[in-house]
Amino acid sequence: MARVLIIGATSAIAAEVARLHAARGDALFLLGRNDAALRALGEELGPRVVGLLAADFGDMKENGERVERALAALGGVDVVLVAHGWLGDQLTSERSFEHAADVIATNFTSAVSFLVPIVNALESQGRGSLVVLSSVAGDRGRPRNYTYGAAKGALSLYLQGVRSRLYKTADAVRIVTVRLGPVDTPMTKDHEKNIFFADRGDVARGILRCEERGPLDIYLPWYWQPIMAAVRTLPERVFQRFQFLAGR
């Protein structure tokens, strides 16, 4: 039985991961922003949930204490999933610093406020897996989502640094960046769907595999790795000529 902390548990993908862990008999502590949705998920998963905590993740000075409460309830931790995020509105973020700051805080700064105590706990105990959901949007600035992408790019870079800091314990402490492509969830309900949109169940199963094995910096679904490799290598002036890449 694994002891699992999920931050952002009411997101569609994280909830699917929680269901998979509960089906395996793991102990879960669920931390989310939506109290009603969190309680509903807790009732669904039943006795596998040892604790629930609804909180405003923007109140970042309290996030360390929230992690401590979760670890105490679990009696330690084997797996942590950090899964919260917010797309925001790109056009609004170009005209309102306040909106841009909220997007960056939600997707980067608040994540770091959780990661500092979590990484220290894993380092102290010398084992465990931390899986953090980033995005392919962080690989290249595009007009349609560059504020969100900049925050996710910063998060991916931060995790690279954590892995280098802990490289001597990499076999025992896994720090995994999952660069997600678009997934069919409520967060993307207003987006026109195409063949590249992944199923949330497939993605959740991929995340579960990442906790135990595989690369420490991974694209889900897998086909985004070659796609983004090509996108990253395009010179900027060439990239800007392709409207399907650089358009709104």
Contact 13, 135 (CB under 8 A): no
- Domains of the chain: which residue ranges? 3-246
* Cα–Cα distance for residue pair 245/241, rounded to 1 Å: 8
The pLDDT score that the predictor gives to residue 240 is: 86
The per-residue pLDDT for range 186-228, each reduced to its tens digit, is: 666 666 666 678 888 999 999 999 999 999 999 999 999 999 9
Q: Which residue of the set 148, 167, 219, 223 is catalytic?
A: 148
Contact 87, 99 (CB under 8 A): no
Contact 9, 31 (CB under 8 A): yes
To the query of whether residue 158 is one of the catalytic residues in this protein, the response is no
Sign of torsion, CA 104 110 113 118? negative
| Position 161, amino acid | G
Q: What's the CA angle centered on 69, arms 68 and 72, to 5 degrees?
A: 85
Query: How does DSSP assign the chain, residue by residue?
Result: --EEEEETTTSHHHHHHHHHHHHTT-EEEEEES-HHHHHHHHHHHGGGEEEEEE--TT-GGGHHHHHHHHHHHHTS-SEEEE-------HHHHHH-HHHHHHHHIIIIIHHHHHHHHHHHHHHHHT-EEEEEEEEGGGGS--TTTHHHHHHHHHHHHHHHHHHHHTGGGTTTEEEEEEEE--B-SGGGTTSPP-TTPBPHHHHHHHHHHHTTSS-SEEEESTTHHHHHHHHHHS-HHHHTT-HHHH--
Could you give phi then psi for residue 108, rounded to 5 degrees? -125, -65
Token pair of 68 as six digits: 């401590």
The pLDDT score that the predictor gives to residue 203 is: 95
The pLDDT score that the predictor gives to residue 191 is: 61
Mean pLDDT for the chain overall? 93
The per-residue pLDDT for range 176-186, each reduced to its tens digit, is: 999 999 887 76
The pLDDT score that the predictor gives to residue 190 is: 64
The pLDDT score that the predictor gives to residue 186 is: 67
The per-residue pLDDT for range 104-135, each reduced to its tens digit, is: 999 999 999 999 999 999 999 999 999 999 99
In the chain the first and final C-alpha atoms are separated, in Å, by 46
Answer with the residue of higher pLDDT: 154 or 240.
Answer: 154
In this prediction, residue 26 has a pLDDT band, given cuts at 50, 70 and 90, of very high
Cis peptide before 182 (omega within 30 of 0): no
CATH of domain 3-246: 3.40.50.720
